[in-house]
Chain A
Amino acid sequence: MSYLLFQVSFVAYILAMTVYLVFFFTQKKYVRTLARKLFFGAALLHTANIIARLVEAGHTPITSVHEVISFFAWSIAWCYLSFRWRYTVKNFGTFSSILVVLLMLVSALAPHAILPLSQTQHSWLFPVHASLAIIADAFLALACIGGLMYLLQERELKQKRFGFFYSRLPSLESLDKLNQHCLSIGFTLMTLGMFTGYVWARQIWGGRNWHWDPKIVWAMITWFLYAALMHQRFTMGWRGRRAAVVTIVAFMAVLLTLVFLFKGVHGHGA
């Protein structure tokens, strides 16, 4: 049942992305309206999928690779929608929907059997820690997309060669605002996620509270990267190109952390 919902929402995301791409090329307004509706519908279906999976498994579905990536895609979709509700950034939907579809593809390729919880995952802190971290990553992913869009647009403006993207991308200012918005929320959630992770680690490992585990090390590096960026942004007024570059680099660190997630200490149950 839940997997059927997954497949249906996957197809809906693909449709939404296709329509968004059509809008990207043709710039016809009614196409965008359709794309938005499709994307919203897909996100609703995806929500139903996750709830169904929760009921089937009896625990928050963020244990297997399939579940984590799917949850990640779901978070990005809803973070995008929450952002859309407050600001408009031209063609941001196109880029976001591509990322969501890519993640859904990875998720679909991973084995989708429901895994039992491992010993350590029985704590109530585990779902809190994991979902906070993943939602934080979703905001950071959006910041990264915004950064990429910024660099594309900035390049055209600096080099004064106006190509395909110039008219299709929003203004630098709105992309920078997007960066700030997503970073502030993403960083806050990430900090909370790290903190709950720390408490959870104390719970299961007792006094031995430091593991030289690559996942944890990378998570710390990532956190410091974002902390530095936030610091520079709010005290020095860093913005624009430099902020965009650091956002993208830091997100690469997030992705590396995710790769280690499925190997290191967190993979104990799998």
Chain B
Amino acid sequence: MARDTIVLLGVNHKTTPLAVREKLALAGGYEQPLAALRRLDCLDECFLLSTCNRVEVLFTCREPDLARRRVLDTLFAGSVSREEVAGCIYQYQDREAVRHLFLVASSLDSMIVGESQILGQLKEAYRFAAEKKTSGMVLNKLLHKSFSVAKRVRTETRIGASAVSISYAAVELGKKIFGDLKGKRVMLVGAGEMAELAAEHFVGQGVAEVIVANRTFERAVKLAGCYHGRAIGLEELVEQLQHVDIIVSSTGAPDLILTRKDVAPVMRKRRYQPLFFIDIAVPRDLDPAINEIDNVYLYDIDDLNNVVEMNKSERDREAVKATRIVEEETLKFCGWLENMEVTPTIIAIRAMAEQICRDELDRTLGRLGSLSEKEKKSLEKMAASICSKMLYHPIRYLKTDHPCVDQQKRVEMVRALFNLDRDGGEGP
């Protein structure tokens, strides 16, 4: 009897286009798919993770190939054809699976490496598996370990510290200017996708209000509604400068919409409180000369890209460290798994020996006939002690560390010697 194999099947943003990922994502929550997986008797334990960038299925089983087919059919049969799934899915086993899970948990496999969301998503997913009791001893241990690996990576490296998306870079700069973004007001000029993304980041930092100015008022109202903010017309722009702190501009306008002359007089009215302009429009919306005004900071898309690039190189250095941590922890976990294999082997040897004792005793006692209870007891005792003395060294060989033969090998050898897996040949 060998240990179960840990198998991880998944798709992520690297292997699969969004169009396919959308279909594979478990949109209806974890409960139904987990219940469906539990009904498969080829799986021992299972766990599911589904985010907008990835779907991961983690399970333990005896026969990985059979289980893989069953799992894929159960989860994705309705949405995508078998061939399409087979084309984009990756499969890892045992050590590779453990490493992959650790990489995912510590955000090394994310689209934005170092982002912190994934750990929360992983924990949420685990909560479902634990509640439904689909995860057992091995997966529980593995997932808990992955949380602590993620924490270790976060505290020992600076991987999460750098901003590697434009919106995030803008938030980071904002923090260097304002210290805390709580209570600051953000104005979005233009209500495009980029503006929305930036607003999302700023709202995440707890800004007090979002004001949206847009050419079409209707769209402005709609976007402002998402953040409980206000919508204004483009004509009020200059007037509003007095009341906001951060301006994100992303209109499709061909010309500048704010010039130095518009901004300079406002500063006096603002009592020189800092203004932070972020111009992510191409062509630019804001006059570059605005940056020359005291206490006014203007960043255009290239400036932000530079910040991102700078952070990327730092992050890559940190990722090397983080990967080393993951390797270390993977080894440790595999060590634990191996240990887990010794115990069942010992139990199996003992059970086999006991069985032989019992059989032989029964036969002998039957043949001898008239024996007193005391004599029977002594015979039984003798047989038992012969067995345990015979097994003493093999068991010790399994248990204690051996310098030149690793545990896996020793387990295999002992299993073969005692024919514990009953692979062909006659029993004794």
- In the bound complex, how far is the Cα of B273 from the Cα of A242, in angstroms? 12
Q: Would B272 and A237 count as touching, CB distance under 8 A?
A: yes
Interface stretch (choices B79-87, B135-143, B294-302): B294-302
Q: Which of B177, B179, B268, B310 contacts A157 (CB 8 A)?
A: B177
Q: Which of B258-305 contact A (CB under 8 A)?
A: 268, 270-274, 291, 294-295, 297, 299, 303
Q: Which of B168-220 contact A (CB under 8 A)?
A: 173, 175-180
Q: A160-B303, A172-B177 are in contact. Are A239 and B297 (CB under 8 A)?
A: no
Q: Would B299 and A160 count as touching, CB distance under 8 A?
A: yes
Q: Would A237 and B310 count as touching, CB distance under 8 A?
A: no
- In the bound complex, how far is the Cα of B295 from the Cα of A241, in angstroms? 7
A2 at interface (Cβ–Cβ under 8 A)?
A: no
Total interface residues on B, CB under 8 Å, equals 22
Neighbouring A residues of B268 by C-beta, 8 Å: 236
Q: Which of B173, B272, B299 contacts A239 (CB 8 A)?
A: B272
Neighbouring A residues of B166 by C-beta, 8 Å: none
Q: Which of B364-415 contact A (CB under 8 A)?
A: none
Q: A157-B177, A171-B177, A173-B177 are in contact. Are A240 and B295 (CB under 8 A)?
A: yes
Q: Would A239 and B179 count as touching, CB distance under 8 A?
A: no
Nearest A residue to B297 via CB reads A157
Q: Which of B178, B272, B303, B307 contacts A173 (CB 8 A)?
A: B178
Neighbouring B residues of A237 by C-beta, 8 Å: 270-273
Q: Would A160 and B306 count as touching, CB distance under 8 A?
A: yes
- In the bound complex, how far is the Cα of B179 from the Cα of A174, in angstroms? 6
- In the bound complex, how far is the Cα of B303 from the Cα of A241, in angstroms? 22
Q: Would B291 and A240 count as touching, CB distance under 8 A?
A: no
A3 at interface (Cβ–Cβ under 8 A)?
A: no
Q: Would A173 and B294 count as touching, CB distance under 8 A?
A: no
Nearest B residue to A173 via CB reads B179
Neighbouring A residues of B307 by C-beta, 8 Å: 160, 162
- In the bound complex, how far is the Cα of B173 from the Cα of A173, in angstroms? 12
A40 at interface (Cβ–Cβ under 8 A)?
A: no
Neighbouring A residues of B272 by C-beta, 8 Å: 236-240, 242
Q: Mark A139-162, 1 if CB is under 8 A from B, else 0.
A: 000000000000001000110101
Q: A172-B274, A239-B295, A240-B274 are in contact. Are A162 and B310 (CB under 8 A)?
A: yes
A83 at interface (Cβ–Cβ under 8 A)?
A: no
Q: Which of A158, A170, A236 contacts B179 (CB 8 A)?
A: A170
Neighbouring B residues of A158 by C-beta, 8 Å: 291, 297
Neighbouring B residues of A162 by C-beta, 8 Å: 307, 310
Neighbouring B residues of A171 by C-beta, 8 Å: 175-179
A165 to chain B, nearest CB (A): 11
Nearest B residue to A240 via CB reads B295
Neighbouring B residues of A170 by C-beta, 8 Å: 179
Q: Would B173 and A157 count as touching, CB distance under 8 A?
A: yes
Neighbouring A residues of B175 by C-beta, 8 Å: 171
A144 to chain B, nearest CB (A): 19
Q: Would B294 and A241 count as touching, CB distance under 8 A?
A: yes
A166 at interface (Cβ–Cβ under 8 A)?
A: yes
A83 to chain B, nearest CB (A): 16
Q: Would A172 and B176 count as touching, CB distance under 8 A?
A: yes
The residue among B175, B294, B303 with the most chain A CB atoms within 10 A of its own CB is B294
Nearest A residue to B269 via CB reads A237
A-B contact pairs, 16 of them (CB 8 A): A157-B177, A158-B297, A160-B306, A171-B179, A172-B176, A172-B178, A172-B179, A173-B178, A236-B268, A236-B272, A237-B271, A239-B272, A240-B272, A240-B274, A242-B272, A242-B294
* Other A-B pairs, 16, CB within 8 Å; known A171-B175, A173-B178, A237-B272: A157-B173, A157-B176, A160-B303, A162-B307, A166-B176, A171-B176, A171-B177, A171-B179, A172-B177, A172-B179, A173-B179, A173-B180, A236-B271, A239-B295, A240-B294, A240-B295
Binding site for A on B (CB under 8 A): 173, 175-180, 268, 270-274, 291, 294-295, 297, 299, 303, 306-307, 310
Closest A-B pairs by Cβ, 10 of them: A237-B271, A173-B179, A171-B179, A240-B295, A160-B303, A174-B179, A237-B272, A239-B272, A173-B178, A171-B176
